[in-house]
Chain A
Amino acid sequence: MQILEIIWTFFKIGVVSFGGGWSIVGIIRNEVVPHWINEQEFLSLIAVAQSTPGPIALNAATMIGWENGGFFTAMAATLSVVVFPVLSILAATYLARFIKLRAIAINESLKTGSIAMMLMALWALKPSSGDPVLIAMALGAFALAAFTKINALWAIIGSGALNAIAGPAIRAFLGIGG
């Protein structure tokens, strides 16, 4: 059954959802493309998930569930992605007396892990269309997010609006299809 597959997929994603939201994007992509959603839709979905309220992994789960079965699948996917995190926090509060882990070593190992996860995400989602307008927008977003303190939200909305309003005109001017 499809809903069980979705529950299992998002449960697994929840288990390794370490680091700030962006590190899990590559893992989600590997698990859902092309089975539940295609590459192009996935990029738009992540952009929407980032520019709406809420954690990126949860939002992605809600949207993929919605597109693959509707309301109850969306709810199941959303709950599945947080089951493991919630249980692990509860377990840790009760097991803290028995297990002593080094907090610094945990944090350092997760930092290494999350940078590697983001490198994998970048590789998996590197622009493949060859559309120079979209590549220029990715480079602009990098510059904005890496070197200014402007909320990345504005890069997402700005790029979307620019492509919606002026995309065809720019491509016609450059003499490329569209």
Chain B
Amino acid sequence: MKPTKPESTTAQSKPTLIELFILLARINTVTLGGGYVIVPVMATSLEKKGWMNESDFYDLFARAQAFPGPMALNSALLVALKLFGPKGIPAAFFGVVLPPFIALILVSGLIQRFGSLPVLRRFLDGAGAVVPGLIAAMIWKNAAKRSWNVPRIIETALLAVLLILLPAFSLPILLLAIVVLYCIEGLCKSWK
């Protein structure tokens, strides 16, 4: 996953802010399917442009996952910070956020205009029906690649039950849980 190419640890060229914005905007216009699809496209595009090699990008991506927020946005922000410092933030932010925003305004307008047509209604119902199936599939995939141990099984089950039973408190429960889990994982590491 992380090819080590010592000769290419420094990128060959540096983009301008506009060039970074245009690349990100293009990727975020044509790539469908969310972060897991977009991130590899970003990695190869940045390397092809010679702005950042893939292993450097995946280091940033690993850090991006530690923050809340969409993976594509977080990765882009960290790329911009690395290439430009804080002045790169607007290029990354608008490159990721603007194309979907425009697309969704158009789609929302169309749905509002034609949503009462029975055929579109049935399309949206049919499309919505697969959502629980896709969530179940993501649980399946994430559970399959997780390295499980007894504490983690108990923690996952306990947190899921708490979130289901107390939906009104899901945000404080989650924030507290992340802190507690971090401490537990940290302690386990120091015991080894």
Question: Is B18 among interface residues, defined by CB-CB distance under 8 A?
Answer: no
Say if the beta carbon of A7 comes within 8 Å of chain B: no
**Top-9 shortest CB links A-B:** A54-B100, A85-B69, A163-B126, A55-B70, A43-B128, A109-B181, A141-B133, A145-B137, A160-B127
Contact A54 B108 (CB under 8 A): no
Q: A75-B101, A107-B66 are in contact. Are A138 and B138 (CB under 8 A)?
A: no
Q: Does B30 contact A (CB under 8 A)?
A: yes
User: Do B142 and A111 touch (CB < 8 A)?
Assistant: yes
Given known contacts A58-B97, A63-B104, A111 and B135 CB-to-CB distance under 8 angstroms: no
Cβ-neighbour of A108 out of B35, B120, B168, B185 (below 8 A) = B185
CB distance B133 to A142 under 8 Å? yes
Q: Is A137 an interface residue (CB 8 A)?
A: yes
Determine chain A's interface SS by DSSP, over half rule.
Answer: helix
CB neighbours (8 Å) of B74 from chain A are: 85, 89
**A176 lies within 8 A of chain B by Cβ:** no
Q: Which residues of A contact B105 (CB under 8 A)?
A: 62, 66, 71, 74
Q: Report whether A163 and B123 are in contact in the complex, using a CB–CB cutoff of 8 Å.
A: yes
Question: CA A151 – CA B132 in complex, angstroms?
Answer: 16
Given contacts A20-B34, A116-B160, is CB(A159)–CB(B68) below 8 Å?
Answer: no
Tell whether A137 pairs with B126 under 8 Å between CB atoms, given A16-B174, A108-B185, A116-B163: yes
Contact B122 A167 (CB under 8 A): yes
Q: Which residue of B lies closest to A120 (CB)?
A: B163
Partner of A115, one of B30, B103, B146: B146
Stretch at the interface among B8-16, B48-56, B151-159: B151-159
Q: Is the CB of A90 within 8 A of B69?
A: no
> Quick one: given A146-B136, A167-B126, are A30 and B69 in contact (CB under 8 Å)?
no
Minimum CB–CB distance for B62 against chain A, Å: 7
A93 within 8 A of partner (CB) = yes
A: contact size bracket? 35 or more
B168 surroundings in chain A (CB, below 8 A): 30
**A88, B72: Cα distance in complex, Å:** 15
Are B160 and A119 touching (Cβ within 8 A)? yes
A103 touches B69 (CB 8 A): no
CA distance in complex: A101, B120 (Å): 49
Query: Which chain B residues in 133-192 approach chain A with CB under 8 Å?
Result: 133-143, 146, 152, 155-157, 159-160, 163-164, 167-168, 170-171, 174-175, 177-178, 181-182, 184-186, 189
Judging by beta carbons under 8 Å apart, are B146 and A111 in contact? yes
**A56 near B: Cβ within 8 Å?**
yes
9 contacts between A and B (CB under 8 A): A18-B178, A25-B131, A40-B128, A42-B128, A54-B96, A54-B103, A66-B105, A138-B130, A156-B134
